[in-house]
């Protein structure tokens, strides 16, 4: 368990029943706006996939998926998804989605290795989305355009929920700022990545941090981990930077810190996949089902990401802990500390 943050004098602005009603309104409003802005169709998604296919998201490459044997399939193992980054691209191919159209789904996952705190739970729920694109759209400009559309959907949802519940006051700025990880490191070379993020969002309110996964030029370290086989974090985005992916970070006024609401990016093409697998010494993945399909040209070029459902509700309802939004399991010490600090976990 990592450090739990208990804001001094915290009081929930909405009671539990009102919170439950507000969660439903936020989710309905946002997903409708998201689908409209990005031209997405809702689809049904799996809770688990077969082990050993390369379809599951490896996240940072160290998290262990929850797995189980299937009695009626000779005890072959399936595993609970971490996210649907690769599955969605296969779904685009199956559905034959045209360029600049795509899909979204409710993704539910279990991440047993998560370090639990105000923002991280064993249970993950997000809107996973993916769009087919052309080679001409694999650009930083198209990535930024997509981010702006998602951010606009968030601001519309914030205005809606604050109108319904006047005790909540809007705080998102009008525009999102775009910053490259290389530039943020150069500006704050002595700070940790999370400290840099908080500096950026305190200054701008909303930041899309570009290029997460590649080694940074000053420290040689990564700002944060990214698997080598879905986001493209190695292709040059301009003359001085690399990466066609990033995180959408917002300032959380309750916790007074950076708050990641979405991770997204243009996905690897064949060249980027080979390059990134080589950089991470993961060339053996080329023998897996997903990777073979990509290298054989059976999958479309795409852009996609995930947007945290509980996190978005937590932010807009100005809660101190994600456990005020979703029912999960927490350490006894955390439950007691939250109770002492008037943070009501569901």
Positions marked active-site? 57, 111, 126, 247, 260, 263
Q: How many residues does the chain have?
A: 346
Burial of 272 (0-12, 13-18, 19+ CB in 10 A): buried
Residue 12 phi, psi dihedral angles, 5° rounding: -60, 140
Q: Which long-range contacts (CB under 8 A, 24 or more apart) does 176-179 make?
A: 176/147, 176/148, 176/151, 176/204, 176/206, 176/207, 176/208, 176/248, 177/204, 177/205, 177/206, 177/207, 177/208, 178/144, 178/147, 178/207, 178/208, 178/210, 179/204, 179/207, 179/208, 179/209, 179/210
What's the angle, vertex CA 321, arms to CA 154 and CA 257, rounded to 5?
65
Q: Are 121 and 87 in contact (CB under 8 A)?
A: no
């Amino acid at each position: 368990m990592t450090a739990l943050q208990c804001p001094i004098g915290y009081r929930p602005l909405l009671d539990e029943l009102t919170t439950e009603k507000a969660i439903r309104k936020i989710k309905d409003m946002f997903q409708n706006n998201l689908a409209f802005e990005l031209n997405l169709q809702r689809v049904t998604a799996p809770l688990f996939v077969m082990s050993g296919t390369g379809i599951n998201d490896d996240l940072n490459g160290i998290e262990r998926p929850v797995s189980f044997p299937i009695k009626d399939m000779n005890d072959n193992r399936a595993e609970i998804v971490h996210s649907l980054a690769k599955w969605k691209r296969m779904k685009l191919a199956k559905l034959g989605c045209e360029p600049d159209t795509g899909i979204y789904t409710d993704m539910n996952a279990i991440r047993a290795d998560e370090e639990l705190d105000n923002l991280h739970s064993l249970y993950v729920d997000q809107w996973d989305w993916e769009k087919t694109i052309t080679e001409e759209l694999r650009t930083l400009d198209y990535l930024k355009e997509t981010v702006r559309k998602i951010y606009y959907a968030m601001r519309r949802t914030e205005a809606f929920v604050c109108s319904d519940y006047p005790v909540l006051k809007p705080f998102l700025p009008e525009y999102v700022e775009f910053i490259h990880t290389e530039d943020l490191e150069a500006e704050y070379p002595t700070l940790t990545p999370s400290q840099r993020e908080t500096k950026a969002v305190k200054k701008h309110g909303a930041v899309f941090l570009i290029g997460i996964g590649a080694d940074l030029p000053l420290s040689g370290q990564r700002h944060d981990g990214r698997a080598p086989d879905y986001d493209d974090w190695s292709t040059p985005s301009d003359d001085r930077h690399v990466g066609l992916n990033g995180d959408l970070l917002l300032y959380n006024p309750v916790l007074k810190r950076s708050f990641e609401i979405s991770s997204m990016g243009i996905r690897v093409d064949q060249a980027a996949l080979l390059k990134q697998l080589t950089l991470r010494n993961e060339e053996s993945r080329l023998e897996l089902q997903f990777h073979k399909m990509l290298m054989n040209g059976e999958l479309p070029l795409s852009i996609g990401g995930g947007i945290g459902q509980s996190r978005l509700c937590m932010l807009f309802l100005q809660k101190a802990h994600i456990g005020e939004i979703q029912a999960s399991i927490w350490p006894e010490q955390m439950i007691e500390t939250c109770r002492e600090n008037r943070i009501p976990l569901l």
